[in-house]
Structures are given as structure tokens and as C-alpha cells.
Structure 1
Amino acid sequence: MVEMKWIYEWIMIVYGLSLIGYFVDFIQHNRKVNRFAFWLLSIVWILQTSVIVIQLIGQEEFPIRTIQDGLYFYAWILVTFSLIVNRLFKVDFIVFFTNAFGFFMMTLQIFAKAQNDATEQSLRLVSELLVTHITLALVSYGFFTFSCIFSFMYLLQYRLLKEKKWNKRLMRLGDLGQLDNFSYIAAVLGVPLLLIALILGVIWGYTSGEEFYLFDSKTLGSIGMLVIYLVYLFLRVVKDYEGRTMALYNTGAFLFLLVNFFLFGSLSNFHI
């Protein structure tokens, strides 16, 4: 049981890193990141296949009789198809969205299995995944904070340049294009982390037996925050908006983040 628990944990860790890599490639079309994400996903497939083989040997039948095993095998199929598509057809956007759904299925399987198997190891796994949810959410907040700081520095330098208040201190703020790009990169890293955190949190809420409301203020606020930053990336990547307009938008998005963290968090029934 202990060995299987560690395999599940490593699957989720590597799968999450792969998902982040595919998201970055989806946004920036970075082939190096794509290759790295592909090899991470290959490791996920090897670990998933190992679990199936171990269960097959131990049970002497194909492990697909329960809903939990079915979800696991479904996630394995999605990973398998994703590897084939990524390697042969190079349709990257399908790979990212398929694996976002596959990660959801994998997480749902682990929580459902732990709920039906109330052993100490299973309950500990649920607790660890909850900690992962909180940690990833806070790390994503960190990236969004850096993104906002870069946007604020951009707006400050933009105003000083427009008013022709050039001095040596202004040079220390950095180049406008550089600040704009750093702000964008930080948001790109923050979005997939927040997405994974929301997936873990929602599934934990429905399967842990604890009090949970999908329409809780903090839950809805977090979903709204994800949508706001997705719109930011859409405007940046698809509409080619940049500069002052995106810096103002990003600053407003961060203000909503603060409202969600402090106000919606205090109004929540179960968030702290």
C-alpha cells in the first residue's frame, strides 16, 4: 500500500508539471518546453502502466471492475492518446486540453478511491492532496503578485517618460518592453497552477465528506479570478494587446485577487 501511495503521488506531481509545460507551450509556442512536457507525460504513462500491471498481477484480472479503476484506466487512455497525438500529429492545443481533462479524471479517481477505502494511508493521501491544493493556489497568487508588480512598474515608468521626468532612478525600473514581458510570463505561470489548484479543491470538496458548497463565495471568486486571467491571456495572445492597456487590466485583475483572498475568504463557509 505504501509503495502504491507513493506511485500515485508521483503521478500527480509529474502530471501537474507536464500540464504546466503544455500550457506554457500552448500560449508561447515553445518547442523546448513542449519536448520537456512530452517526456514528463511519458513518465506519467510509465507510472500509470506500472500501477495497472501491479494490479493485474495481484488481482489476476484486468483492473476495471470498479468506477475508481474505470476512471484510472480512462485517464491512462487519455495520456496514451495524448502521447501519440503529440508525437505524430503536433496538434498541441488538443494535447493540452486533453491532459487538463485527464488530470481531472486522475484526481477524481484518487479521491474516490480514498473515500471508499478509509484506511490511514488513503486518508493521509486525501490530506496531502488538500495541502497540495492550498500550496498551488498560494504559489499562483505569488506569480500573479509579481505580474502585478511588473505592470505597476510599467505604468510608473510610462507616466514618468510621458512627463519627461527622466533620471538615473528611472533607469533602474527596467525597459518598458522587458517589464511588459515579465508581467506576461508571470501570469502564464500562475494560470495553470491556479487551474490545477481549483481542480484539486473542487474534487476534494465533493469526495472528502467535509462541508463543501460549490457556490461558496471563495470558490466562485477563485473561478472568477481564473476566468479574468484567462481573458488577460486571450487579449495578449489572440488580440495582440500589450503595453499600458494590459498593465491596467492586470492591475485590476490583481485587485480582484485581493478581494477574493480577503473579503470572499472571510465570507466563506469553509475556507480560512
Structure 2
Amino acid sequence: MGRAGKLLQLLGLSLWLAGCGGGEDTTRKAAEKVAPPPDDPAAMTPLQRAQAGKALWEEKCRTVAGEKIYKTASDIDGVLLLKVRPKASTNQWADPNWPGAAFAIEDRVDDYIKSFLGFEMAMGAFGAPRPITKDDRGFINTTYSPGPKQYPGYRYVDVADPSDGKRYRYRLGIKVVQGSKTGELRTFLEKTLAPEPSPLYGVDYEDHVIPEDRALGVASSTVRVINLRTGEVLGEMLRYAWSTPASGANPNPWLTAYKCPGHAMGSGEATRKFVDQVLIPRKDQ
């Protein structure tokens, strides 16, 4: 082999070695790109944490979230609310550990009580009424509307007041709007001391704060319908919600969180629309 050939061989060897080195570097960089995120959410990048949180939420929706009805009861006049959703603030809507996060847009305080008393309706195209199905529910209307309703609410709701330990009964009362020249009627929440006996069935909720879930932006809560005499659970709804942390673009992330199960219409009345599948309200005659 001549001098020129040997030079070509050496050049080829040098290029091959360079190629090997480059290949190893490329392989290492590729491995780094596909490396799994750290197990600790605090060590994750914001994108990794969002991806892990959404994956966890999707898994919970697929495997454990949803409505379970074990037994139903019909012609129910009233229920006892063991707890009422309290007021919420902007600070809570941004707090990753807020207990009520899974039901952030649920009706609260008096509106929560009223949601059990109103009747359900749904509007379709051009404002025309549309059918209501289990998978396509409507919204709860608490305005005055005479006549029997196809989907009525409960006739009364009892609530125990923690401030005095007494049980109060709430109904939708009707009064003439002050100053109305036409006698316009409006509903209001009427509160009286509840008589005995107390309702047979109660509605309760339990908000969960699971640190490993909350670290990924995932919240959960369970609603239960209970026979208060026997303690039997007639039905329960487990909801999961997921959102990314508060930011300038989304300062109140729990209000825009993904939820399962949820409702496209009347999203603030999810508890009522689960309970009335278990405890079916008595219809007007």
C-alpha cells in the first residue's frame, strides 16, 4: 500500500472514530430527552408536573371516579343536608390545598340549599325546551313558575345550624315583588324551626386533601346519600378535578379545572343532580 493509501486509511479511521464519538453524544442526548420525569413533583419542570397531573386525573376518571347508586327511594318530600357548602374566596380558588377544590363552582350557602328545592329544566335551540336525560341534564330553576313540574325539587330541606345546634327547615316561599303594579311574584328562601321527626335521608360530602395528588394539581371529593336511621349508604359520587397552578393568565385555576364527572349545563348543581337520582322527589299531583 502506498503512502497515499495509508493516509486515506488514517483519515477514514479518524472520521470513523469521530463518528463514533458523535454517535455516543447523540445517543446520550436522546436518552436525556426521553428520560422519565423525577418522582418528586417538586423536582419536575412545570410541563412535567402538568403532564403528570393530567395523566393522574385521567387515570382516576377511568378507574374510580363516577356515580354509584346502590338503592333508590321514591316520592321523597325532603332531605337533611348534613353540611352546606360554605362561601369561597379568590384565595381559595388559587390554593392548591383548598379542601373544596373539586367542587369549586358548586352553588354555596343559600344557593346550595335552594338548588335542592328548585325544579329542573333544559333549553335547546332558540330557547325551546328539550328533553332531559341522565347523560344530558338541565339546570335548576328557582324562580316562580306555576303548575306541576316534570322534574321537581324537594318540598323542603332541613339543615342543622352549628351555631345553635337547632335544625331548621327551608322551603321556597312566594311573595309579591315590592312596588310591582302587576302583582309579580318572586320566590324567597323561607326558614322555620324544623318539626319532628327529622328526614329519613341525609346528604353529606367529604373533601379529600391527599398530598401526593395535590402536589400534581389533582383534587377529589365524595358526596354520599345516607339512610340516617341505619347508616346505610344508598349512593355516592366521587369527583376528581385537575388544574395547573395559579398564574397571571389563570389566577383562579380551580374555577376552570377539568372535572369528572361533571355537567355541561347547570354545573353548579352537580350534588343535587346526583342526589335526585337516588332520592327521587315526589311529583306534584
Query: TM-score with structure 2 length normalisation?
Result: 0.22
With a CA cutoff of 8 Å and minimum separation of 6, indicate the structure with the bigger relative contact order.
2
Structure showing greater radius of gyration is 2
TM-score w.r.t. the length of structure 1 is 0.23
Quick check: which one's strand share is greater?
A: 2
